């Protein structure tokens, strides 16, 4: 029998904007967490989205993303449609935006498919008709969702409801890009979005087609072993063969056209979806894209000009009858996936080497022993492998998070950033810390990811005097094979050293990083080995 899902509840009530009391964590996504909360003023339950940002953004980038979030939440609040989760309010707490929405007590489509398997075509058609109506209402109001996927579709008893307009963009508004981040889910990302072109209502139609495909087939249109394969397939391959779609096949074929101008019109898609949903399965004629009567549009609708090193043939202008040449993979992968390990280490460096103090020499101030030295804290920490997993050595405490637990040195301060946490030694002379970050919602290829990140360190101005000390693949960890490396660098004149381990865990890729001044390195290593040895699921 399946174990009931445990909900994470804050240890003490947290109140946002002196009004909304957080009750329990409902779920997490790429742009933050969603909480069930109680509106103390109106005495009603609401959902609150806690907006979290990718690590590594500077102050100006953070301000731009927050400004964009406030603006988009206000735009989403204009939408009044039964198929769209209502946005009640957007408030600021601790300098960050929180989006208050109607609480819809209904399962998401992805969970329904996992529990029930592929859904019947007629049921999927009804879901699609509801979502299409919601999207058309949003598009008429000038709002593009940008992240239509099964996880953002809630199935109530009466209809399908679309949620999470938190990363939507307002048509015609100034674009505030989230530097170096994937906005959207790769498996449901329209090809033009994968090439970092501006999302449009047609992009939402492609994502709707991918969502309906997943509902009726039981998996996304492109099943590949890793995110690189998915992104490459979205750009150049036809969707995987359909086995169960039946009468839905023409609709899916029409919505999943790579050229936005060639996709099925929403009027036609809506008519077919309603017919399939209302009657017994019947034959729907194969749909063909429009020809000849297309209004001339801008050249190269689906691919930006590729650098000379990534050119693959000619004829990439729209309307010439030839498929645009796909740029090399590195020209189209959004940098967040590639640089995630770089960003997390960079944030830790800023936290510790800028805010942590210390003189870089590694010697404790007079009369005050450094943690890890004799006289304070654990003398050296246990060696790797000592103690059984789950036990807490003397001088440590067990940190219990919603996704994982681990032993942390007593006195180290936790600085949570949504699902990411940095632990910092408060001893200014020690200048060290450990950070945990979920860097991607895919698993596998740890060595590839870390190797790509390592290549970027060499030319990163934030890591002067960079020197790789060790790189290792196939490190046994949590039943899988992790990748890890160590390197040295200089920050603000202080020599530092990093040990980072990248691994698959809980359906995603995680990165655990320790950073310390070089003078404290040997005394700091046992803290990290203990943290790794005790890291596990709750």
Residues involved in catalysis: 147
Residue 166 contacts residue 90 (beta carbons within 8 Å): no
Closest to 308 (Cα-Cα) out of 331, 291, 278, 285:
331
List residues forming the annotated binding site for ATP: 49
Task: Sheet containing 96-102: give its strands across.
Answer: 14-16, 20-29, 32-39, 44-51, 96-102, 87-93
DSSP result, 85-136: PPEEEEEEETTEEEEEEE-----BHHHHHHHH-SPPHHHHHHHHHHHHHHHH
Task: Give the alpha-carbon dihedral of 37, 163, 212, 172, to 10 degrees.
Answer: -160
User: What are the helix (H) ranges across 393-493?
Assistant: 446-457
Residue 44 contacts residue 38 (beta carbons within 8 Å): yes
Give the span between the Cα atoms of 57 and 177, in whole angstroms.
Answer: 12
Residue 26 contacts residue 20 (beta carbons within 8 Å): no
Give the span between the Cα atoms of 313 and 325, in whole angstroms.
Answer: 7
CA distances from 199 to 51, 63, 85, 151 (A): 21, 22, 21, 19
Closest to 402 (Cα-Cα) out of 38, 50, 96:
50
Residue 438 contacts residue 508 (beta carbons within 8 Å): yes
The 8-class DSSP code of residue 373 comes to B
Per-residue tokens: 254:
């029409």
Per-residue tokens: 130:
């509801």
Place of tokens 């805010």: 355
Task: Give the alpha-carbon dihedral of 92, 93, 96, 100, to 10 degrees.
Answer: -60
Query: Which phi and psi (to 5°) does residue 117 adopt?
Result: 85, -175
List residues forming the annotated binding site: 49
Residues 428, 429, 431, CA angle at the centre, nearest 5°?
70
Give the span between the Cα atoms of 224 and 535, in whole angstroms.
Answer: 29
Q: Which H or E run includes 435?
A: strand 432-440
């Amino acid at each position: 029998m399946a174990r009931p899902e445990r909900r994470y509840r804050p240890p003490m009530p947290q109140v946002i904007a002196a009004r909304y009391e957080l009750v329990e964590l409902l779920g997490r996504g790429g742009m933050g967490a969603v909480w069930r909360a109680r509106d103390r003023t109106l005495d009603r339950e609401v959902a609150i989205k806690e907006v979290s940002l990718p690590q590594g953004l500077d102050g100006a980038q953070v301000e731009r993303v927050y400004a964009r979030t406030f603006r988009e939440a206000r735009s989403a609040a204009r939408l009044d449609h039964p198929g769209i989760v209502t946005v009640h309010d957007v408030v600021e707490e601790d300098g960050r935006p929180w989006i208050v929405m109607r609480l819809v007590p209904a399962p998401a489509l992805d969970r329904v498919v996992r529990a029930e398997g592929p859904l019947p075509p007629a049921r999927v058609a009804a879901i699609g008709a509801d979502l299409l109506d919601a999207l058309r209402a949003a598009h008429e109001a000038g709002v593009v969702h940008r992240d239509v996927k099964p996880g953002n579709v809630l199935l109530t008893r009466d209809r399908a409801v679309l949620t999470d307009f938190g990363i939507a963009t307002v048509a015609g508004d100034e674009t505030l890009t989230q530097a170096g981040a994937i906005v959207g889910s790769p498996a449901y990302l329209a090809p033009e979005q994968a090439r970092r072109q501006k999302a449009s209502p047609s992009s939402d139609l492609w994502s709707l087609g991918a969502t309906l495909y997943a509902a009726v087939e039981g998996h996304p249109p492109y099943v590949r072993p890793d995110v690189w394969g998915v992104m490459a397939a979205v750009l150049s391959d036809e969707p995987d063969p359909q086995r169960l779609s039946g009468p839905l096949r023409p609709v899916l074929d029409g919505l999943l056209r790579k050229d936005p101008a060639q996709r099925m019109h929403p009027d036609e898609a809506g008519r077919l979806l309603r017919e399939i949903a209302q009657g017994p399965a019947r034959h729907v004629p194969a749909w063909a894209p429009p020809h000849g009567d297309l209004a001339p549009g801008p050249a190269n609708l689906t691919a930006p000009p590729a650098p000379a090193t990534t050119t693959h043939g000619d004829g990439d202008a729209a309307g010439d009858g030839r498929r645009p040449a796909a740029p090399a993979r590195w020209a189209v992968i959004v940098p967040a996936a590639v640089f995630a390990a770089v960003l997390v280490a960079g944030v830790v460096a800023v936290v510790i080497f800028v805010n942590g103090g210390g003189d870089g020499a590694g010697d404790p101030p007079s009369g005050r022993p450094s943690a890890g030295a004799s006289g304070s804290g654990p003398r050296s920490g246990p060696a790797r492998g000592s103690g059984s997993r789950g036990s807490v050595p003397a001088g440590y405490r067990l940190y219990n998070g919603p996704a994982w637990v681990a032993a942390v040195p007593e006195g180290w301060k936790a600085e949570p950033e949504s699902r990411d946490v940095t632990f910092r030694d408060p001893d200014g002379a020690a200048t060290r810390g450990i950070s945990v970050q979920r860097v991607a919602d895919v698993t596998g290829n740890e060595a590839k990811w870390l190797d790509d990140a390592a290549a970027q360190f060499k030319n990163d101005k934030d890591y002067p005097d960079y020197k790789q000390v060790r790189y290792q693949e196939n490190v046994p960890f949590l039943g899988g094979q992790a990748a890890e490396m160590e390197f040295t660098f200089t920050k603000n004149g202080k020599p530092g050293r990093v040990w980072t381990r990248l691994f698959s865990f809980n359906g995603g890729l995680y990165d655990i990083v320790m950073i310390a001044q070089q003078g404290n390195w040997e005394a700091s290593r046992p803290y990290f080995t203990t943290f790794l040895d005790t890291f596990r699921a709750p």
